[in-house]
Structure 1
């Protein structure tokens, strides 16, 4: 009797960059249509045999896929592709580009630049007040520990677009934000405040063009900073 994973056409991987290759092979099951949203993946032992990898490598890949929102692991039930994955295609693309930092940063820029222009038209006074509160939190943070306030600032803007079609994009935005944020070694609070205040002012005056311009300047600064740090680590 053939193992279920064999029927799905899972290919074995080479010994280099094992975890990333496992991510790609599993995502390919979804992209190719061999499995669909909500389907259960083969058991770990079968995947280990088919992919010819250790349990630690497989679990590293599964953890990455879970963080990206592609799969859910349920105790005593198994591992499943998420039911909403079909409406969150960006999560799948991010899974395939997990080690392509420039592409991840550009994806974040594309998402946020579009969302901020819509936000300029739709953001409410209550959301503006919450946005201002995050700016105050950053200004009053100790030891430049303001990562959560920074994330909340960008999330409020994304949610203020108030468009159900963009729900999956917002999830992907948070994924890219977390990935990029983890690479920032030295924070520059005054620069962050300068960018956030300018974006806030543009949103308060309902000016999409100004909101776009200031968000671009902010994200371009972050892009150059993160990529420069990445180059020093190679």
Structure 2
């Protein structure tokens, strides 16, 4: 890996703008070809000087990029673009729209509704068993303490599609799911169990049409709930 300093040009942004513009400026290094996956980013001091922003704004932007899997910060080594960026293009798009909740929810719907029809044809009995276990965890949870089981339910379905080309989308799907869940103010475990159980039964029957229908009903409910709570 080449860690030698690179001569780069980064568009500066106004000091009063949000970290999103800093995210765009850093992403532009990839889009423009000035840097590539695996490259080491300039130091914080260099980025602050080139982009003309304060340290808190820069660090907020870097945190967003790290949570989306675009960069990795290594102690005493520096900050690097991840090697997997090229196989996870949705991570870049998510980073550019990290404050657009409606776009994130719609991206989640597009990914999950496509994946579940494939999952209905391929899901194994073992995966179905694991799926049912997550539903049981939610049913026995204490009110709102079931976030991990909820995420695992959707992860199992996505991975059961067993397609190496779309596998790179799963990480991005989980990012959208975590973001969506973080915006839910009041959880309804009984409703979640009801929706998940309907999806499970459709998958158990290996019925892609019913699986799509039940997943759409679930995701549309989540969309309406989150956007209502967010306004």
Q: TM-score, normalised by structure 2?
A: 0.96
Residue 199 to residue 42, structure 1, CA distance change in 2 (3 Å): same
- Corresponding residue of 1:218: 218
- Corresponding residue of 1:17: 17
Q: Aligned equivalents of 2:33 and 2:10: distance in 1?
A: 13
Q: CA deviation at 1:39?
A: 0.8
- Corresponding residue of 1:229: 229
- Corresponding residue of 1:36: 36
Which consecutive residues of structure 1, in runs of 5 or more, have no partner in the other structure?
Answer: none
Partners of 1:117 and 1:212 within 8 A in 2: yes
Q: Comparing 9-18 with 127-136, which one deviates more in the overlay? A: 9-18
Q: CA deviation at 1:136?
A: 0.6
Q: Aligned equivalents of 2:164 and 2:17: distance in 1?
A: 37
- Corresponding residue of 1:8: 8
Alignment of 1:1-234 (within 5 A): 7-231=7-231
Q: CA deviation at 1:40?
A: 0.9
Q: CA deviation at 1:144?
A: 2.7
Q: Aligned equivalents of 2:79 and 2:49: distance in 1?
A: 16
Which consecutive residues of structure 2, in runs of 5 or more, have no partner in the other structure?
Answer: none
SS of the residue corresponding to residue 165 of structure 2 reads helix
Q: Aligned equivalents of 2:73 and 2:151: distance in 1?
A: 26
Q: Aligned equivalents of 1:67 and 1:34: distance in 2?
A: 23
The number of residue pairs the alignment matches comes to 228
After superposition, give the CA deviation of every residue in 1:46-99 in whole Å (9 maximum; x if it has no partner).
100111111111111111100000001111111110001000000000001111
Partners of 1:155 and 1:174 within 8 A in 2: yes
Q: Aligned equivalents of 1:144 and 1:48: distance in 2?
A: 40
After superposition, give the CA deviation of every residue in 1:126-157 in whole Å (9 maximum; x if it has no partner).
00000000111110001231111111100000
Pairwise CA RMSD: 1.4
Q: Aligned equivalents of 2:13 and 2:180: distance in 1?
A: 28
Partners of 2:143 and 2:188 within 8 A in 1: no
Partners of 1:5 and 1:46 within 8 A in 2: no
